[in-house]
Amino acid sequence: MGKCRMDEKKIRFEGIIDVGPIVISHTKNPIQDEALEFMRDVLTLKIRCLMPVSVFLGAYLVMVKYLRVDRNSASTALIRTLSLNLPIFYEDIPKSVAIESLKIASSLGISSWDAYLAQLAKSLGIKIIYTLNPRDFENIPWLEPRLPVSKESLMKYHEWVKLRSKVK
């Protein structure tokens, strides 16, 4: 199994987090306040959600490449959260999980990233994934995709992203 801190083994995680909730809580956007509320609940263990450290690398890519956030601002914001000494961070990708993830990606026709999160959740007995893209996980029988913000807020965020991508 992946690298766990001792405290982590005592917590029964109910969910796992995808890249999207990290992005919207670490980027100035119209729904950041709601996203920060969700993130606060995760960081205080009100929502028992595992955070694979690798999602922060994906969040950096999305923030810098697609949302055009300044590289230094993006890394500073993400490092601030990663620097917290909390038992919610999952620090490893076991080879067995990677192998199963590739099998799932191939058989279900989904991205290897989504398959990784699904397989990691399955291997740890986690049933919920917090994501901005519930459709990506709808064909995975052991996972229940949940939005970290309201549907209305998500629509507002997508409009903001669309407008932002038109401005160069």
User: Mind listing the pLDDT tens digit for each residue in 17-70?
Assistant: 999 999 999 999 999 999 999 999 999 999 999 999 999 999 999 999 999 999
d(CA 126, CA 66): 30
Q: What is the pLDDT of residue 168?
A: 57
pLDDT digits (tens, 9 = 90+) for 84-121: 999 999 998 889 999 999 999 999 999 999 999 999 99
Q: What is the DSSP letter of 89?
A: E
Q: What is the pLDDT of residue 167?
A: 66
pLDDT digits (tens, 9 = 90+) for 126-155: 999 999 999 999 999 999 999 999 999 999
Q: What is the pLDDT of residue 3?
A: 47
11 backbone φψ class: left, alpha, beta (φ>0; ψ -120 to 50):
beta
pTM of structure? 0.90
Kindly report the three-state secondary structure assignment for every residue of 26-82. Answer: HCCCCCHHHHHHHHHHHHCCCCCEEEECHHHHHHHHHHHHHCCCCHHHHHHHHHHHH
Q: What is the pLDDT of residue 10?
A: 76
Q: How confident is the model at residue 2 (pLDDT cuts 50, 70, 90)?
A: very low
Q: What is the pLDDT of residue 45?
A: 95
List the 128-130 sheet strands across, edge first: 89-90, 49-52, 15-17, 128-130, 144-146
d(CA 129, CA 17): 6
Q: What is the pLDDT of residue 149?
A: 98
Q: Both ends of the chain: CA-CA distance in Å?
A: 44
Half-sphere exposure of 112 (CA within 13 A, CB side): 8
Please name the helix (run of DSSP H) or strand (run of DSSP E) that holds residue 3, with its range, or none. Answer: none
Amino acid at position 92, single letter: D
Q: What is the pLDDT of residue 4?
A: 47
Q: How confident is the model at residue 5 (pLDDT cuts 50, 70, 90)?
A: very low
